[in-house]
């Protein structure tokens, strides 16, 4: 596997953090939503953000 440089590592960490933050916010929005479709949309988006975070984290191993 090719090693990543410091700038790539920093960018990857930033992306991982951003996706985790987004997932937490989207989950909060889902909890506050009263419309079932809106709630489901936020929940799906939160899960998508977590999945992307996991994919990004795989580059660290």
pLDDT by residue (tens digit) across 24-53? 999 999 999 999 999 999 999 999 999 999
Q: Where are the domains of the chain?
A: 4-57
pTM of the entire structure? 0.87
Mean per-residue pLDDT for 13-23?
Answer: 97
Tokens representing residue 13 in the block: 């960490």
Residue 1 in this model has a pLDDT that exceeds 90: no
The count of residues in the chain is: 61
Mean per-residue pLDDT for 1-21?
Answer: 91
Residue 14 in this model has a pLDDT that exceeds 60: yes
* DSSP codes of every residue in 8-58: HHHHHHHHHHHHHHHHHHHHHHHHH--SHHHHHHHHHHHHHHHHHHHHHHG
**CA 4, CA 20: separation in Å to the nearest integer?**
22
Residue 2 in this model has a pLDDT that exceeds 90: no
Backbone CA torsion sign across 36, 41, 47, 50: negative
């Amino acid at each position: 596997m090719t090693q990543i440089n410091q700038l790539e590592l920093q960018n990857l960490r930033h992306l991982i953090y951003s996706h985790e933050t987004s997932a937490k916010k989207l989950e909060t929005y889902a909890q506050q939503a009263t419309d079932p479709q809106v709630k489901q949309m936020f929940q799906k988006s939160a899960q998508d953000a977590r999945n992307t975070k996991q994919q990004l984290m795989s580059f660290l191993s």
